[in-house]
Chain A
């Protein structure tokens, strides 16, 4: 195992180093000596690049993946894999982004990286057709199931108003690092689905949320466990008929990526990119009022990067 890990890490490190070098000036990726006086940033927004490259830039601006993943830690990555559709329909997180993120985690010395989602459509079909199962395995991480109540454990949400308890996937409870990687999409009832809404995929009984004021429950659950990092995929954006979408006509290529440890801030920025005022997205407003994070972007230290 150890030798295999070594080889895997060396290869992924090599890939990243190669990519970094090829784009020039990003050798700092390894040096981690970032001499930006504005550090640390609350939020990084990158645009006009390919998903993997935008991720590299965002992580660099945040001070490197090592800030989030330490040697020997286990990491759980939660993309949106909710639907049995191909990547181009943008209902699921871009597999290229997931693949690159996993490589970064292993570069930082992660012991294991797990990827899962409690899907809406048939889970095996979602994992396969989203391209995420393959991306995960190719990058050396493990894809975990989340389609049965047996994978979830009861937790209490002390600060929740309507949602006082929920069953949460065991990997969220057992992993050292939790990285939330949603895709920005339109949503029939919640208006938009971004970081906070994506957490519906780490719990078991979603119907309870729908019965008990969806927006309040989304905000309630955001008080439970802050992801260590949120990365919003806004490369292909489903601007209507979300969250499942009907055809590729629902998708606009925007080429954005947002990274932040603050879910409210990330959702607010993503809403702006989508073209909506964050205050109109009910759960963003509620979460902000509950003190989950900062929705006023003017109060944040933001790094804006154009590739």
Chain B
């Protein structure tokens, strides 16, 4: 087989896969059917590892597939499947078209073993101790998810809204506005930090990010030491022209020793294509690359690592009142003590332990009730999605998040059981209620309640006031969202640490005999 076809396959596959996975994250129309999500995202290494761990189902088999591919061919995940990897390739490609940036040629790089093994060690430790925040910060798929959900999707909706306002002027309503709630600045800062980091790395050093910081890259690199197929340089044919080095994004070709550090090779096959001497082979022949260990720590990377740590610390310091808005009548401060995790997540603890904060569900949630959390879950669940009833409420008829979740943090749930899954319970604070403070009718909460857990019961002066039947409340937050009191809500959901099952709503049939004549 002509080896040059490998690069073509890689480019076509990775671009197609990248486009589809990006569409999943930026689709604000909900047009992509839920079945597409799993068939695309199941290949992502860390999410599918989590899914396998959480659900022990075949759906989580993606990581095993990746592992086997890795054993056969090396780090194909990094070049074919990882969206963050493809993003770097795209940025590198563009930057090499820009004259000023052209001079940054690829070259052989130090392996930075200390840094990469440190990140891997931390990552694995956090994986086993369920320290999700670190897993979330370092999983490349989740980083890309947050970039495309938090940045690309936002930019797209701004553009969409500008277009819509122009079309509106001529009464065209085929497109529609999309209003997204702003993320907390720390979450945006983390996303931007990684985006800029990725841009810098890919412009100046190719895939160095994947070979220093990315724990998945390092892990797959270690596995690829025993890979069946390997990129090798045939010393007899090689003329040391260095063309391969100039094309090696990973900087893993040592031309002086005519060797390839296959641990760092991301299987992009660029070198295969440029070699004029046909000296680069992709074979099963075993040979041991001789590269001396190098424990020299790169100062820049250390600063970046410290930067991440600083950000995490900064996020943990300031507590905010995320669930409050400000004006007048309500006087009693109501704030939930227990955060609400989405239906299907079984318990807050399990959710926190299994979510990598890729924000796919946040992108898919039609009511935008799922928002990235700041301090709701504490530091451990930083950036993980949380039910935010200021932004919306959980649609009674919807299970979209459970259909798209790639990690199994939100387990698949049937609509019927979702409608009885109690993720929290409504709490009524009468002292804030309009009916009490203003002496007028309101009932917005009862209006929105899909199970009639909140009803209006007779009060004084012919008025009716809300009453909560906890057993049939599912904690969807419609009442809290609709409650008009400010600055505090008169009705709010207190999360259930462990989700419970609500009683079925009451149902009494009625018979009404139609009257013979008009009643007027």
How far apart are the CA atoms of A296 and B366 in the complex, in Å? 45
> What residues of chain B lie closer than 8 Å to A96, measured between beta carbons?
none
Say if the beta carbon of B177 comes within 8 Å of chain A: yes
Say if the beta carbon of A40 comes within 8 Å of chain B: no
Q: Quick one: which of B173, B367, B444 contacts A145, CB cutoff 8 A?
A: B173
Known interface pairs A124-B366, A190-B441; A211-B447 also in contact (CB < 8 Å): no
Q: Which of A15-23, A49-57, A238-246 interfaces with chain B? A: A238-246
B366 — nearest CB in chain A belongs to which residue? A122
Q: Tell whether, in the assembled complex, residue A150 and residue B397 are in contact, meaning their CB atoms are under 8 Å apart.
A: no
How many residues does chain B have at the interface if contact means C-beta atoms less than 8 Å apart? 51
B159-173 vs A, Cβ < 8 Å mask (1 yes, 0 no): 001001100100101
Q: Which of A64-72, A222-230, A247-255 interfaces with chain B? A: A247-255
Q: Tell whether, in the assembled complex, residue A151 and residue B443 are in contact, meaning their CB atoms are under 8 Å apart.
A: no
Say if the beta carbon of A125 comes within 8 Å of chain B: yes
B351-366 vs A, Cβ < 8 Å mask (1 yes, 0 no): 0000000000000001
Which residues in chain A, 198-252, are within 8 Å of chain B measured between CB atoms?
206-208, 210-216, 239-241, 243-244, 246-247, 249, 252
Q: Tell whether, in the assembled complex, residue B510 and residue A120 are in contact, meaning their CB atoms are under 8 Å apart.
A: no
Q: Tell whether, in the assembled complex, residue B161 and residue A129 are in contact, meaning their CB atoms are under 8 Å apart.
A: no
How far apart are the CA atoms of A147 and B29 in the complex, in Å? 13
B386-403 vs A, Cβ < 8 Å mask (1 yes, 0 no): 000000100111100000
Chain A interface residue bracket vs B: 35 or more
Q: Tell me, rounded to whole Å, the shortest Cβ–Cβ distance linking A74 to chain B.
A: 8
How far apart are the CA atoms of A108 and B76 in the complex, in Å? 65
Q: Tell whether, in the assembled complex, residue A145 and residue B177 are in contact, meaning their CB atoms are under 8 Å apart.
A: yes
Q: Tell me, rounded to whole Å, the shortest Cβ–Cβ distance linking A295 to chain B.
A: 11
Known interface pairs A142-B173, A207-B484; A282-B444 also in contact (CB < 8 Å): no
How far apart are the CA atoms of A171 and B392 in the complex, in Å? 25
Q: Tell me, rounded to whole Å, the shortest Cβ–Cβ distance linking A113 to chain B.
A: 12
Q: Tell me, rounded to whole Å, the shortest Cβ–Cβ distance linking B512 to chain A.
A: 5
> What residues of chain A lie closer than 8 Å to B411, measured between beta carbons?
none
Q: Quick one: which of B396, B484, B514 contacts A210, CB cutoff 8 A?
A: B484
Listed residue (A142, A247, A282) with the most chain B CB atoms within 10 angstroms of its CB: A247
Listed residue (A45, A124, A129, A268) with the most chain B CB atoms within 10 angstroms of its CB: A124
In the complex, besides A188-B456, A214-B442, 10 extra interface pairs with C-beta distance below 8 angstroms are A120-B447, A143-B173, A150-B179, A188-B447, A190-B443, A210-B482, A246-B506, A249-B507, A272-B519, A302-B520
A binding-site residues for B, Cβ under 8 Å:
45, 47, 74, 84-85, 112, 114, 120-122, 124-125, 129, 142-145, 147-151, 170-171, 174, 187-190, 206-208, 210-216, 239-241, 243-244, 246-247, 249, 252, 254-255, 268-269, 272-273, 275, 282, 297, 302, 304
